[in-house]
Amino acid sequence: MNVSFRQLRLFLALAETGSVSAAAKVMHITQPTASMQLKEITQSVGLPLYELVGKKLFLTEMGLELAQTARAVAQSWEAFEQNVDATKGLSRGKLRISVVSTAKYFMPHLIGSFCNQHPAIDLSLEILNRDGVVQRLRDNRDELYIMSMPPKDMDLGDEAFMPNPIVVIAPTSDPLAKLSAVPLHELSQHRFIFREKGSGTRMAGDQFFRKMKFRPNVRLELGSNEAIKESVAGGLGVGVVSRHALHGQLNENGVSVIDVQGFPLPSAWHIVYPSGKKLSPVALAFKQHVLQQIRHSR
């Protein structure tokens, strides 16, 4: 097969955008040129790589495999470029990070301080729910991933860098907010508002409740901490969230942390990556920056 590196990057752009026209824009070429080169790639491979169903583009099984190969090649080349820059004493490069949505309360500060120190670094940040971040981790889409519950079925480089206490919140006007050491069974009369199944916060809460043989009466499952806080403030029930969702405070915008026995649940933030992956100089520098910033803030 005779496929150029630039054609591999074009196919990767196609895989990531799902559109020939969008891939052409990424590669700064015309759509007819992109279509022609994609046809050449398909002919070189000798098997269908994608198909159009209606107006939507889908990769075939071989197309998915080629996209994974193209991604690995592109990442290896970027790492080589960064190693060259590091040898020259330069600090330019690109870093891709995926973080779970709750990490948005503290990650911008860490990223901002890193970018201030390394202004030539081009940083790409994906903020998703845990399932989305784990899928990107399985697909090797980024260099570093921030989450609270790393998947146990993957061989990972994993470093816990900061506590992530899980708390129960209630409306500030609720009598529970004024009590101490509330027994868990007292909450059996309350409706619960949880994050969606699969989120790190939900997993930590479910594990604790199973251990305590407590069955919460679930009213709502919501996809964001902001929605949970608004629902709790509106009197729809008590919520289970990371304390980071309250910016580390005990009360915020009509909700307060209540002192429930067994809470806060112990949890931690992890910075992870596939164990066989060789991190680029920029990724290593960012990882070290995060660990140093957290140590200095304690």
**Angle, to 10 degrees, between the axis of helix 107-117 and the axis of helix 281-297?**
120
pLDDT in tens, 90-103: 566 788 999 999 99
Average pLDDT over residues 125-153: 93
Instruction: Name the one residue in this structure whose structure tokens are 């071989």.
Output: 62
* In the predicted structure, residue 73 carries a pLDDT above the cut 80: yes
- Cα four-point dihedral sign 11, 13, 17, 21: negative
Strand-pair category, 56-59 with 50-53: antiparallel
Average pLDDT over residues 61-66: 93
pLDDT in tens, 227-284: 999 999 999 999 999 999 998 778 788 999 999 999 999 999 999 999 988 888 888 8
pLDDT in tens, 33-58: 999 999 999 999 999 999 988 888 99
Q: Which of 277, 280, 284, 287 is nearest to 154 (CA)?
A: 277
Q: Are 220 and 237 in contact (CB under 8 A)?
A: yes
Q: For residues 194 and 219, what is the distance between their CA atoms, to the nearest angstrom?
A: 8
Domains of the chain: residue spans and CATH: 1-90 (1.10.10.10), 91-162+269-297 (3.40.190.10), 166-266 (3.40.190.10)
Q: Residues 286, 289, 291, 294: what is their CA dihedral angle, to the nearest 10 degrees?
A: -130
Average pLDDT over residues 170-191: 92
* In the predicted structure, residue 88 carries a pLDDT above the cut 60: no
